[in-house]
Amino acid sequence: MRPENCKDYIPPQHAIVGRKTRCARAVILVKLQITDGVYADHHPNIPPPVWPGASSRRSGFATAAGLCCASSGSDSTGSIRFPLAANVLVVDAEDAISRQITSETNRPFEKLKRRLSIHMAVCLRWAARSGACLAMLARSCRDAVSIARKPIGISVKKACAPAYLSKSFPLASLRADKTANGTRARGVAPAWRRRKGTQMTDKIVDSHVDAVPESPNPIGPHRRTVVKGLAAGVALPTYLRGFETSAYAQTSAPVKMGFIEDESGNLSVYGIQKLHAAQLAVAEINDGKTLKGSPDIGAGFLGAEATAAKNPPVISKDGTSLAVVDDGGAKSPVDLAYVEDADILVDSGEKGILGRELQLLSSDGQSNNAVWQQLARKLIQEDKVDVLVAGFASAEREAIRPIVDQFKQLYFYTNQYEGGVADANTFCTGPVCEQQVIPTVQYMVEKYGPKCYTIAADYNFGQLTAAWTKAFIPLVGGKVIGEEFVPLSVSEFSQVIARIQGAKPDWVMTLLVGQNQHNYYPQAAAAGLKYPMASTVNMAQGYEHKRFAPPSLARMHNAIQYQLEVPTVRNRAFVKRWMTMFPNDPYIGEMAQNTYFTIHLYAKATRLAHTVDQQKVKRCLELGWNIEAPEGSVFLEPGTHHCAHPIRLAYCDEKHNVSFLRDWPMIQAWWLQRLGVNLIRNPEYKQYTPDEDPYFKMFAL
């Protein structure tokens, strides 16, 4: 029947699939008001969608949207590719099930070529459930038809995914195995590997299991028989192909998270914060909690009309209650405001990860790079951790990254840093120079003048961040008139202060790291140095505005994605949870918050992948992820393994109270993209520097 003739047509009977699901006591809860493409057209009452799809489109969408765990649909021309592309697993059962359908419709199987597909958006974790669906659909409502008499032939068709996602992965064969808890999938050698001369392709894969005895159940096959037939030759047809539930993922052994930070030594002021962040995140995950977020898109902002003060609120330096000492003054007329979700910690639906406890194996790096290398090898080779979270200083990261790459270890570096790391095994979740140096330098040149004097820690972070400052400042009409690099062991700065006074800059860029170098601030204040300051690390990480008496940090500016004083509802709730667990902590810095949301992000990715297999979790992370962190919505960019962050320009006044002068809702980590980095297409294992970017020199003013 042509579409123009079927506007008011009501079929005289239910479809076969509908009758069989009703026989299985299924209850219709909802019907989707969307249209499938039939004969190249759509239902006249419903506008064609942006992504039209074709037959079985509603089935694919229902499963992909999480409305159901499995859905069935039919097609005769291959258009099942569209719903297939939206899901993880599509199985075409063309043998016994199709024969049963065609026999009921009295049409020859050879002519109809109708395929019944089971869409599994939750991957092979639900193999047994998909088997139950096949069993239900294979048997007749009236007759005792058992597919156990002749096994199901299973075909897997390739998804319509982008070309760069269509690399083939090894097919995994599974069999159902009885346990005390029912059935579970367990890896066995696939039949096609045992058949000499047989080759698998991405197009169509056919495999058959050996015949089994007839089921004693007169209604249909034994559930285990169906699962066994279903799982005999399954491969995942989209980017997540291969994310089956392995025997390892089904064990009760804990998921091991290796963790290295400096709990002692010069960098312990940061390391203790990051350790506590990890402990809080792990406790929440094991308690059944997760942060909001999903692949590809997050909660976003709500646009609303509101009144706003002329100036930003000023947050007190005292304590951790985020007390407002100045609300910004009288309210303005009604204007547009953006409100983000306040409640971001929600139930995950399980304790731990995949029903297993998340275990934190923490080690003290002792602010010593040689110790870091020893610990990394131990965690990877001896403890065999499932994931590694480690590193404050860039020197520490670079000390262990060759080891990470040697063993293809999944590794999260959660610190703010100089940027440029392009590593297929490393995910960098902190902000980088294009998100911090550029906004800060532009503001400082416009507000205070073009002349900048830089003092930086003498290792790769300080050197490369200073290089970013020097490379970018000419683009906004500024100039670096002096530059010094200070060893991490230095704590006396009288000569540096004298040189700054002699240069007479408009402002000073301070990139100082560790408890030794933080002594610059009280010494500069005592010497009467009152130049405005900018940084990408100080105040937000080492909380110098709380550790030193005013006005040591007066006039400090820092473009940060997070520090404790961020006055949002979601951050106040986060600070409250933190202080409940660690009541004696003086501060929560940006790198601690990064560690917190990163661990939640890892847990979310493993749940979607339904495995802790490191290579599969990496691929799952490369879907691109939004996660609702205390700082706001964060997006993990798949091609570069870096995050887009909301950025705020924090300002410390004479009394060391904090306000936020500018707010950028989202700044991408775009620099590696400009250099052409795409770790999905072309895995790399290096760090780029500003010298490799010709654009800086090309357009300098």
Both tokens of residue 165? 């996602």
At residue 62, does pLDDT exceed 80?
no
Final residue of a structural domain among 530, 561, 592:
561
Final residue of a structural domain among 561, 576, 600:
561
The residue whose two tokens read 């799952």 is 620
Please tell me what DSSP assigns to residue 153: P
Answer yes or no: do 121 and 229 share one domain. Answer: yes
Position with higher pLDDT, 556 vs 165:
556
Give the Cα-Cα-Cα angle 338, 341, 343 (nearest 5 degrees): 155
Provide mean pLDDT across the span 492-514.
Answer: 96
In a domain, 660, yes or no: no
Provide mean pLDDT across the span 175-192.
Answer: 35
Please write the tens of the pLDDT for every residue from 293-311: 988 665 455 556 666 776 7
The residue among 244, 246, 247 whose CA lies nearest residue 235 is: 244
Number of domains in the chain: 3
In a domain, 22, yes or no: no
Q: How far is CA 506 from CA 110, 124, 211, 518, 529, in A?
A: 82, 62, 84, 21, 12
Tell me what pLDDT residue 260 has.
Answer: 98
Final residue of a structural domain among 561, 578, 603:
561
> What band does 318 get if pLDDT is binned at 50, 70 and 90?
confident
Neighbours of 153 (CB within 10 A): 19
In a domain, 313, yes or no: no
Position with higher pLDDT, 322 vs 66:
322
Beta partners for residue 290, in sequence order:
346
Please write the tens of the pLDDT for every residue from 221-243: 333 333 333 332 333 334 444 44
Quick check: 680 and 454 in contact, CB under 8 A?
Answer: no
CATH of the domain at 503: 3.40.50.2300
**Separation between Cα atoms, residue 59 and residue 67, nearest integer Å:** 10
At residue 77, does pLDDT exceed 90?
no
Answer yes or no: do 142 and 264 share one domain. Answer: no
Residue 476 neighbours by CB under 8 Å, 6+ apart? 441, 442, 445, 446, 701
Tell me what pLDDT residue 569 has.
Answer: 92
Tell me what pLDDT residue 30 has.
Answer: 63
In a domain, 90, yes or no: yes
Answer yes or no: do 548 and 606 share one domain. Answer: no
Answer yes or no: do 572 and 556 share one domain. Answer: no
- Indicate the SS3 state at residue 439: helix
Tell me what pLDDT residue 127 has.
Answer: 45
Please write the tens of the pLDDT for every residue from 377-426: 999 999 999 999 999 999 999 999 999 999 999 999 999 999 999 999 99
Number of residues that make up the chain: 701
In a domain, 334, yes or no: no
Neighbours of 214 (CB within 10 A): 12
Tell me what pLDDT residue 665 has.
Answer: 87
Tell me what pLDDT residue 323 has.
Answer: 80
Look up the domain containing 77 and give its range.
49-233
Dump the DSSP string for 472-534: HGGGGT-EEEEEEEE-TT----HHHHHHHHHH--SEEEEE--HHHHTTHHHHHHHTT----EE
Answer yes or no: do 82 and 200 share one domain. Answer: yes
Answer yes or no: do 71 and 204 share one domain. Answer: yes
**Separation between Cα atoms, residue 566 and residue 564, nearest integer Å:** 6
In a domain, 317, yes or no: no
Q: How far is CA 126 from CA 138, 183, 188, in A?
A: 18, 10, 17
- Indicate the SS3 state at residue 611: coil
Quick check: 145 and 99 in contact, CB under 8 A?
Answer: no
Residue 285 neighbours by CB under 8 Å, 6+ apart? 348, 352, 353, 358, 599, 600, 603
Provide mean pLDDT across the span 435-460.
Answer: 96
The residue whose two tokens read 């506590």 is 276
Answer yes or no: do 127 and 208 share one domain. Answer: yes
In a domain, 321, yes or no: no
Answer yes or no: do 76 and 203 share one domain. Answer: yes
Answer yes or no: do 488 and 590 share one domain. Answer: no
Provide mean pLDDT across the span 123-152.
Answer: 42
Answer yes or no: do 165 and 184 share one domain. Answer: yes
The residue among 34, 33, 63, 39 whose CA lies nearest residue 51 is: 34
- Which helix or strand (DSSP H or E) is residue 185 part of? strand 182-187
- Indicate the SS3 state at residue 98: helix
In a domain, 657, yes or no: no
Beta partners for residue 335, in sequence order:
306
Answer yes or no: do 198 and 292 share one domain. Answer: no
Mean pLDDT, the chain, integer? 75
Answer yes or no: do 273 and 347 share one domain. Answer: yes
Quick check: 66 and 122 in contact, CB under 8 A?
Answer: no
Please write the tens of the pLDDT for every residue from 599-653: 999 999 999 999 999 999 999 999 999 999 999 999 999 999 999 999 999 999 9
Please write the tens of the pLDDT for every residue from 113-134: 333 333 333 333 344 455 555 5
